[in-house]
Structure 1
Amino acid sequence: MFALPSALRVTRMRALVAASIHPLAHVDPEAKLGEGVVVGPFAVIERDVEIGDGCRIDAHAVIAAGSRLGRRNVVHSFVVLGGAPQDRRYAGEPTTLVVGDDNVFREHVTVHRGTGHGGGVTRIGSAGLFMVGVHVAHDAVVGDRVTLANGTLLAGHVVIEDHVVTGGHVAVAPFVRVGARSFLAGGSMVERDVPPFVIAEGNRARVRALNRVGLERSLVPLESRVALKRAFRALFVGDLPRAEALARLASDPDPFVRELVAFLHAPPRR
């Protein structure tokens, strides 16, 4: 008489029934797939992978060991998520990549998992668009609703906050923090922290203007946009020393202005 399957085996069997896996795909028996997951031909899903409900993994994509994907993510062909970090100190220790919900990873995107000395986790938020050829390195943290255009390169330990948008072929150096709702113009080489709400451009990138279009598109209230315009002029255009301008703005009633001031007060992460 056959023994009853274990609870783990039952869960695995249910997941496979709920998912649609092409017969030419390779899905490790230890991988956990949620309901409605679709896996295309020649896709590879390694051991110790969790993929949430409603995800789509297209042909020839690779989801490497240690990856945790939320729900409804779309992974296009030739994407590699959770690959080993490109770091000489990495010695094969188990690390992870954690991805939120509703992201789109277009062709040839690569996202590496963390390193042991860097915290062990690379984190991607939700509702992001990662266009063709984007690279996110080890131990990076990427927020919600970001749009990274073709060829954007994020080095290790970078922090990209919510609603950040980049033009094509932007490169961000290690440990740099890019503030919320900022825009990095195409071709920018970013080696210093970029404050929230601004446009940065150039080689090496500098603050050029307030990101008025980005603020409006991300539904920042009109009164806050007016307050940020005033604060931007005080900090980046006016004649007051930066420290004095920051001191005057520290008690500003607008929460977005206070967020800008707090960012500029924060110490470097290196």
Structure 2
Amino acid sequence: MAGRIHPTAIVAPEAELADDVTVGAYSIVGPGVRIGAGSQVGPHCIIDGQTTIGRDNVFYRFCSIGGMPQDKKYKGEPTRLEIGDGNMVREYVTINTGTAQDVGVTRVGDDNWIMAYVHIAHDCQIASHTVIANSVQLAGHIHIDDWAILGGSSAVHQFVRIGAHCMIGGTSSIRQDIPPYVIGAGDPFRPVGINSEGLSRRGYTPETVSALKEAYKILYRRNLKVEEAAQQIAALQAQRSEASDALQVLVDFLNASTRGIARA
């Protein structure tokens, strides 16, 4: 194991690292850290706090992972950060632990591509297969579902939820929930349609994509309240049975929204 840790790196004796984990020059790994097999910590990184990291992750140079939350209410409670498998984390990314005011843990799932200068604040829940481009700033308590894509320099308000398969253009300002499958951009964010190309690439059939486009029209073109739109989309499931599961994801998201959805 010693041969995989650069002689200038500092790894706390209490840290738990799999035998093949590499730690680059001048990096620091704190006592509460656990890192799984195949993961790589580049030079000049700091990984501390109560942080658990899975297999085959790459932390590029100058990352700061597991730092305490940027929340004035934080009083040193034993909150955590959990990161799954196969994530790429590029230069100067910061990911903080959770707070006692929420679930107490920040989570990042599997196979996420997190580009340079991204900030993931306390209690964020990032699912899997997302792309978070350069300089995206995520405030606390944000939920991002599978396969979402956030363009560079976008900013997301605290407590916002971003649905699965969304595609958000660069420099967007997100202040309300973005329903699944939606594509758009702007300050404030403006939805323009369904992410049909992304859905097709992920195996969604033309029939399902067509049904989701119809659901989009119900949600955004008929001047309905969110509750009314959810009811009509639920009724659409009976007519478009081949898309029932995909439509249910949208209905569930709308019914759970507390901030309202972006409609600008």
- Where structure 2 has 5 or more consecutive residues not aligned to the other structure, the ranges are none
1:85 CA drift (Å): 0.4
Letter in 1 for 2:247: V
2:13·2:31 contact (CA, 8 Å) conserved in 1? yes
More off after superposition, 237-246 vs 86-95: 237-246
Over 3 Å counting, the alpha-carbon distance change for 1:244 and 1:35 in structure 2 is same
Q: Which amino acid aligns with 2:232?
A: R
Q: What SS does the corresponding residue of 2:249 show, helix, strand or coil? A: helix
Q: Distance in 2 between matches of 1:217 and 1:135?
A: 28
Q: Name the structure, 1 or 2, with higher relative contact order (CA <8 Å, separation 6+).
A: 2
Residue 261 (1) aligns with residue 251 (2): yes
- Structure 1's 244 and 95: CA in aligned 2 closer, same or farther, altered over 3 A? closer
Identity of aligned residues (%): 39
1:190 aligns with 2:160: no
Secondary structure (helix, strand or coil) at the match of 2:106 reads: strand
The residue aligned with 1:231 is 215
**Cα pair distance change 1:241/1:43, threshold 3 Å:** closer
| CA-atom RMSD in angstroms | 1.7
Deviation digits for residues 186-235 of structure 1 (CA, Å, limit 9, x no counterpart): 11100000000001321111322111122123332332112111211222
- The 3 A distance-change label for structure 1 pair 239 and 118 is closer
Q: Note the 1:188-227 alignment, pairs <5 A.
A: 188-227=172-211
Amino acid paired to 2:175: E
> TM-score when scaled to structure 1?
0.89
Alignment correspondent of 2:113: 129
SS at match of 1:250: helix
**1:50-83, CA deviations, whole angstroms, 9 ceiling, x for partnerless residues?**
0000000000011112110000000000001101
- Secondary structure at the aligned position of 2:140 is classed as coil
Asked whether the 8 Å contact 2:52–2:81 carries over to 1, the reply is yes
For 1:245 and 1:88, locate their aligned partners in 2 and report how far apart those are by CA, in whole Å.
39
Q: Distance in 1 between matches of 2:68 and 2:227?
A: 42
Alpha-carbon distance, 1:245 to partner? 4.0
Number of aligned positions between the proteins: 254
Find the structure with the greater CA-based Rg.
1
- Give the Cα separation in 1 of the matches to 2:6 and 2:28: 11
Matched residue SS, 2:65: strand
1:78 aligns with 2:68: no
Task: Give TM-score scaled by structure 2 length.
Answer: 0.91
Residue correspondence of structure 1 range 1-270 to structure 2 within 5 A: 16=1, 20-238=4-222, 243-251=227-235, 252=237, 253=241, 254-268=244-258
Runs of 4 or more consecutive aligned structure 1 residues displaced over 3 Å after TM superposition:
238-245
- Contact 2:227–2:254 at 8 Å: present in 1 too? no
CA contact (8 A) 2:177 2:259 kept: no
Cα-to-partner distance string for 1:99-128 (whole Å, 9 max, x where unaligned):
000000000000000112222100000000
Instruction: Assess, with a 3 A threshold, how the Cα gap between structure 1 residues 70 and 23 changes in structure 2: closer, same or farther.
Output: same
Letter in 2 for 1:221: T
Residue 212 of structure 2 aligns to which amino acid in structure 1?
L
Structure 1: give runs of 5+ residues left out of the alignment.
1-15
Deviation at 1:242, TM superposition (A): 5.4
SS at 1:22 equivalent = coil
